[in-house]
């Protein structure tokens, strides 16, 4: 019975291994297609509008719209190739009727589209390799000859694995701190300077309450309002559940006088506690892991000096 159990687990492991390898291959093909896009024939699309997308804490992405009415939708609900991500400078200079040049491959059109999707594919390729690498290493160390060789190389190999692990962990923490810093800066910028208060019309909405699909729920409102110069602003904004469900056709917003795309909606509802907990938990884990790393380094330094991780209690204290 034990042998059958091991065989079943091994077959499951191989199946998962194949699935992850296939995922890596698919991501590689899509990445290759995006890289080759630079050589494709350039095409032009006429701009029918432009819209920004602002996440919960302030990061803004900018898009050119190629279809009438698409600027009033939640941006990612639009059909592929009806919009393209562009830089902020291009966005500010763009007007309705202008033409944007690019090359169509899959969902990508503009250079910003390509760069954004390349980053996503690289991340997914890295994630897809984690399980296969550990699966192969696990199988190798259970080969008797390899196991004996590893035992002989234990000291330096252990140090190497520790360095790789700590390096990977520190890289992940650094990326998390960069994301945290950007969110803090964006939030400060949105609340700085003279604030303009106005009412924005809700032209579209989308809620994803499926906790099994993503790590948390997402709520989006497509907004339309006029800035202080009378220009119409279209923007997709990620919001909290209370704002999403308590505002049907319009919502009160504020933004800095000099930049209407940095909108924010103040106020906190107790019902949003769990939502914000899920949003911020990654930063909490980052801080905890940082403290644990600092404490581990402190203990290692103590052991190097005293030969022990822990302080020995004085005899007088014991008596």
| DSSP state string for 109-124 | -SHHHHHHHHHHHHHH
Element (DSSP H or E) covering residue 142: none
What's phi and psi for 267, nearest 5 deg? 115, 145
Per-residue pLDDT reduced to its tens digit, 76-90:
888 877 888 888 888
Per-residue pLDDT reduced to its tens digit, 218-264:
899 999 999 988 999 999 999 999 999 999 999 999 999 889 999 99
Per-residue pLDDT reduced to its tens digit, 93-143:
989 988 877 655 445 555 656 666 677 777 777 777 777 877 887 777 778
User: In the chain, where are the structural domains located?
Assistant: 42-109+194-267
HEC readout, 30-98: HHHHHHHHHHCCCEEEECCEEEEEECCCCCEEEEEECCCCHHHCCHHHCCCCCEEEECHHHHHHCCCCC
Choose among 281, 283, 276: nearest CA to 179.
283
Per-residue pLDDT reduced to its tens digit, 286-307:
899 899 889 988 888 888 888 7
pTM: 0.69
298 versus 33: the higher-pLDDT residue is 298
């Amino acid at each position: 019975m034990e042998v059958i159990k091991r065989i079943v687990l091994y077959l499951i492991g191989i199946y998962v291994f194949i699935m992850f390898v296939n995922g890596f291959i698919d991501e590689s093909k899509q990445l290759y297609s995006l890289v080759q896009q630079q050589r494709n024939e350039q095409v032009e699309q006429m701009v029918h509008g432009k819209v920004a997308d602002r996440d919960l804490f302030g990061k803004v992405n900018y898009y050119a719209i190629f279809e009438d009415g698409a600027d009033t939708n939640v941006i990612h609900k639009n059909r592929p190739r009806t919009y393209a991500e562009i830089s902020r400078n291009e966005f500010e200079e763009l007007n309705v009727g202008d033409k944007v040049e690019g090359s169509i491959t899959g969902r990508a059109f503009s250079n910003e589209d390509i760069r954004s999707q390349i980053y996503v594919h690289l991340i997914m390729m890295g994630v897809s390799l984690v399980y296969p690498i550990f699966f192969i290493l696990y199988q190798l160390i259970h080969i008797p000859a390899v196991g004996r060789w590893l035992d002989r190389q234990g000291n330096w190999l252990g140090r190497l694995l520790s360095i790789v692990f700590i390096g990977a962990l520190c890289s992940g923490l650094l990326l998390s701190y960069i994301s945290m810093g950007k969110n803090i800066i964006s939030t400060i910028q949105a609340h700085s300077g003279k604030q303009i208060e106005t009412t924005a019309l809700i032209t579209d909405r989308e809620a994803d309450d499926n906790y099994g699909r993503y790590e948390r729920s997402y709520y989006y409102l497509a907004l339309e309002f006029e800035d202080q110069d009378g220009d119409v602003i279209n923007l997709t904004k990620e919001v909290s559940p209370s704002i999403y469900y308590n505002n049907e056709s319009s919502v009160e917003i504020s933004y800095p006088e000099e930049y209407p795309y940095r909108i924010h909606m103040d106020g906190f509802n107790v019902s949003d506690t769990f939502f914000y907990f899920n949003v911020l938990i990654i930063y909490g884990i980052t801080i905890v892991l940082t403290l644990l790393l600092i404490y581990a380094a402190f203990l290692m330094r103590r052991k190097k000096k005293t030969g022990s991780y822990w302080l020995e209690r004085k005899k007088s204290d014991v008596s």
